[in-house]
Chains A and B, each alone.
Chain A
């Protein structure tokens, strides 16, 4: 309901109740944080700072840790342990375990049945709930906005601020409505929506803003699909991305470990139902894309904004009027070793990676497995399937998805960030091409000299079977309405 007659956005309804001290001319707002997720890579220097200053973690009961970035995804040994071969990674993981223990923070260690990518386990355990403020030292924290939470990535200094005070200094961001009208066609998924949005606005298009994804296509998405969309908000430069909670949200949360129950559940849902933006609420900016016009998307360049319909041709630098952008495109095509005007369909690839905090949840794996069932991975191509968490892995195995992937010739791995970040042993070799369901195609992101085409799990699966970049729609029989 509009308060005091003024229509408010979802963002404003989450932001305002978390203000400990209002923004002034001299100081940013002080924002209270409901949940702080920590992992091994961006936290050690913050814990060191706490020790140096003799500070405690103020609210370990609002903090949770998991190991994900530098963890190997190789198989367990005979003792059921996932061995860490890299000495530096091993030291980092040990440091993290000690920090969590010393400061009383619950943590899921490598090998634990609840370990996984930080943005997979938050929602999975019911910790991510509508109306909350959530931060993590990771830019893809925007994922949690799928539940109508205000969730964003922070640096290590800010991580120290939250550990010590449970608050953050923040200037109030602006808002931007991203309307996705209509319905997705068959073979077109949540990943294609967000790649299309970023291609439209560019990777700096959302700087200083919080997106709210709206419209029929967003409402029709599963929670996993909404997480995929919100996850890549940062690739559009946005501080965060949000989707208003609805029955799909409540059904996903109900019954999870940290979800409210009984009378508390009813009270929580009643509160959450007030969160969606009021009719007439004004956004600082609005854009609209039409889901029914979307095709599967793919990136051709070295940032996520360099995306296009999979059937399109790679753009030519000489057609770019802006000088800096012309140079950027030329540099990207040189790195990718692609020619202007070239079509990506049919482009040979070496690796297919299905995983990452963008696309490693159960519905992603089901889509890929459905597609690949009864088919084989092309000869000479490496396909890695990396579930986002041990819980996703167990669920997939109970459904027999692991067997489908293995029979097709794909690798079924342990949970973690894996080849999305290439700091854990999983990486491309120089010059290799990959179709990847992850979120970044920056130079060297998936391994020094590696070349990444970002796409959906369906496009990745189709490309794995064909051995070349492939439009999944060309290989789908009995086409059904797109989802995910």
Chain B
């Protein structure tokens, strides 16, 4: 994983509550055995017409002025539903580095952080302000500082966001979490010696 300390970029608003992972990436794209090409299918059923290819001109991700946005601002409870990690893969593939909402579904948050996609939970007022800003001025940019856990709005106002210490460490240092677990091998062995296994699937 690459190091992530700062994000600077424009924002694109999708002011819809409860955006589920089936909208972020429909199940029919889950037949892949790698992570390649999922960005094109992000929000597929909102983004393209009946044929799945012709861009829907009304959908904001297709509007010229919002191309290249790094931050997605969404309605409440983003990423609910399926555990598919294809959702953050698709968002990263579509160029996003952070998603702002008032709240994130647990599994989506976990999946996003493990891939360097930053879930930023803000209060409802900030969320509404970002919606308005982005709608009024597609060039409005925000700055995000992982170390200080702050989101800076175009007017200079700083909003802090929660981030657990371990995820922060991993993001800032570009290390994935598996390394930490692999290093605990002795403790796992000790645990296994004390706790007999409950089932044997290979029996």
Chain A residues near B (Cβ < 8 Å)? 17, 20-21, 25-28, 30, 32, 34-35, 41-42, 44-45, 48, 53, 55, 59-64, 69-70, 86, 88-89, 91-92, 95, 104-106, 126-127, 129, 131-132, 137-139, 153-158, 160-161, 164-167, 169, 171, 173, 203-204, 207-208, 234, 237, 239, 258, 303, 305, 324-325, 327-328, 331, 421-423, 430, 440, 442-445, 448
A261 to B119, CA, bound (A): 47
Contacts of B201 in A (CB 8 A): 35, 60-64, 105-106, 127, 258
Inter-subunit contact A35/B198 (CB<8 Å): yes
Q: Is B64 an interface residue (CB 8 A)?
A: no
Inter-subunit contact A440/B22 (CB<8 Å): yes
A127 to B198, CA, bound (A): 9
Inter-subunit contact A106/B202 (CB<8 Å): yes
Inter-subunit contact B45/A165 (CB<8 Å): no
Inter-subunit contact A35/B83 (CB<8 Å): no
- Number of chain B residues close to chain A: CB under 8 A: 61
Inter-subunit contact B182/A165 (CB<8 Å): yes
B130 to chain A, nearest CB (A): 14
Q: Is B81 an interface residue (CB 8 A)?
A: yes
A342 to B33, CA, bound (A): 44
Inter-subunit contact A203/B18 (CB<8 Å): yes
Q: Residue among B81, B182, B203 with the most chain A CB within 10 A? A: B81
Q: Is B75 an interface residue (CB 8 A)?
A: yes
Kindly list the 8 A-B residue pairs having the minimum CB-CB distance in the complex, ordered from nearest: A155-B111, A204-B77, A155-B85, A44-B33, A88-B31, A153-B83, A157-B114, A156-B85
Inter-subunit contact B110/A155 (CB<8 Å): yes
Q: Residue among A20, A137, A331 with the most chain B CB within 10 A? A: A20
Q: Decide if the interface of chain B is mainly helix, strand, loop or mixed.
A: loop
**CB < 8 Å neighbour of B166 from A27, A34, A44, A305:** A27
Inter-subunit contact B80/A422 (CB<8 Å): no
A305 to B18, CA, bound (A): 10
A444 to B20, CA, bound (A): 11
Contacts of B107 in A (CB 8 A): 139, 153-155
Inter-subunit contact B22/A442 (CB<8 Å): yes
A428 to B3, CA, bound (A): 43
**CB < 8 Å neighbour of A208 from B75, B81, B106:** B106
Inter-subunit contact A239/B106 (CB<8 Å): yes
Nearest CB to that of B169 among chain A residues?
A: A26
Q: List 23 A-B contacts (CB under 8 A).
A: A27-B180, A32-B188, A34-B198, A42-B30, A42-B84, A89-B31, A95-B33, A106-B202, A137-B83, A155-B114, A157-B115, A158-B110, A165-B181, A167-B181, A169-B180, A204-B76, A237-B80, A305-B18, A325-B17, A442-B20, A443-B23, A443-B45, A445-B22
A448 to B192, CA, bound (A): 47
Inter-subunit contact A207/B111 (CB<8 Å): no
A311 to chain B, nearest CB (A): 25
A154-B83, A155-B110, A157-B114 known; A324 and B164 CB under 8 Å? no
**CB < 8 Å neighbour of B16 from A104, A129, A258, A327:** A327
B163 to chain A, nearest CB (A): 12
**8 Å CB interface, B14-69 against A:** 15-18, 20, 22-23, 26-28, 30-35, 45, 50, 52
**CB < 8 Å neighbour of A25 from B15, B84, B111, B165:** B165
